[in-house]
Amino acid sequence: MLTSRQKLILKAIIEQYVKDAQPVGSKSLTSMPYLNFSSATLRYDMAQLEELGFLEKTHTSSGRVPSEMGYRYYVEHLVTRDYDVQEQFPLIDEVFLKNTIAREAAVEQAIHLLSELTNYTALAIGPSSNQNLIKKIDFIPLSEQDAVVLIVTDQGHVQHQNIRIPELTNINDVKEVIKTLDDLLRNRKISEASSVLEAEFAKTEIESFMEYQAQLIQSFIHAFSKFAQDNFYLSGVTNVFEQPEFHNVRHIKNFVDMLDRRELVKLIGDHEGLSIKFGSDLQLIPMDNCTIISVPYRVNDYEHGTIAVVGPTRMEYNKVIPLLEYIASNLGKLYKK
């Protein structure tokens, strides 16, 4: 159990180290107005915090730096939101008030702005449409050989699939196939559509209309799989490379590998609230000195999304957290429009 003084000292050391990435000594702490203690007292408590595992001593300086345990205690008990960050909220509001841009563009711009405001890597995972019901499958001819099939869900989400009509194929036959699919799949969940199409009775129904039914079914399966995939937005990938923790080539490679495999989708928090994961929590890909902060947003009981920031453990938590929470609240409203 830390004393009140030790909590103040730990908080001061972490927030000072976040600013300049330099080990913090007792001398620099004495200049802080809320640490009106003697150097001897500060040194004693710093030694105690080190012994308890909250601080670490560097080899190149008499100062100390926070350990992962220290950061974890800080975010769980000591961090306070920096309300000065509200001055940046109008920039975020502007993105969401632009009614002329599509929802996807708004998400993309918001993530880009978040990466610029924090100078870290930002990402969002949009809600999957997996549990939506199919309300309509429509067919729109574009030419004698080309057409677009539109799949509309009960939540208003639309997916399109371009199809090629073979020569000598009657377009009315194609329309009949689409109508059959519409009857077959209406009011079924997106998650069920592919298995229904692959079922033998579905292939049999369609087979009587045309010879290329197998290719047509595969094109629909592809369209439904796109519905089921998480929408993934990423911005500021190289921002973290400006941080001293990421000057190590191995760290850069691990970080890039993690993004390439989209392991971040597995590593971010769940739908229950603010989540902060440190290096030791990232077991799939060991990432020393890396932290992922994520906040969920809710569209409805079935659809959820997540917004997150990835950066060094030496992160400005007091600024990043309120920015994440504010953007997440706006994303939830955006999807409900």
Q: Are residues 106 and 55 in the same domain?
A: no
Q: Are residues 50 and 99 in the same domain?
A: no
Burial class of residue 112 in the structure, from the number of CB atoms within 10 Å of its CB (0-12 exposed, 13-18 middle, 19+ buried): middle
Q: How far is CA 287 from CA 236, 246, 284, in A?
A: 18, 10, 9
Hey, is 151 helix, strand or coil? strand
pLDDT recorded at residue 162: 79
Determine which helix (DSSP H) or strand (DSSP E) holds 5, and give its type and residue range. helix 4-20
Listed residues 202, 228, 254: the one ending a domain: 228
Side chain identity at residue 163, one-letter code: I
pLDDT recorded at residue 323: 95
Report the CATH number that the domain containing residue 218 is assigned in CATH: 3.30.390.60
* 189 secondary structure, DSSP code: B
Q: What are phi and psi of 315, to 5 degrees?
A: -115, 150
For residue 27, what are its two tokens?
A: 């001398």
Hey, is 64 helix, strand or coil? strand
- Greatest pairwise CA separation for the chain in angstroms: 92
Q: Are residues 95 and 240 in the same domain?
A: yes
Rounded Cα distance between 116 and 124, Å, is 15
Q: Are residues 64 and 99 in the same domain?
A: no
Hey, is 289 helix, strand or coil? coil
DSSP 306-333: EEEEEEESS--HHHHHHHHHHHHHHHHH
> pTM for the complete prediction?
0.72
Rounded Cα distance between 301 and 196, Å, is 25
Q: What is the chain's pLDDT, residue by residue, as a tens digit (337 residues)?
A: 899 999 999 999 999 999 988 999 888 898 888 888 888 999 999 999 999 999 998 776 678 999 999 999 999 999 998 888 999 999 998 888 875 556 777 888 899 999 999 999 998 887 766 667 888 888 888 877 888 888 887 766 677 777 887 777 777 877 887 888 888 888 888 778 777 777 755 555 555 544 556 667 677 776 666 665 557 788 888 888 888 877 777 777 777 777 665 566 667 766 678 999 998 887 655 577 889 999 988 766 666 788 999 989 999 999 999 999 999 988 877 766 5
Q: Are residues 57 and 15 in the same domain?
A: yes
Q: Are residues 238 and 309 in the same domain?
A: yes
Range of the domain at 46: 4-78
pLDDT recorded at residue 118: 94
pLDDT recorded at residue 16: 93
Q: Are residues 236 and 93 in the same domain?
A: yes
Where do we find the tokens 């500060």? 42
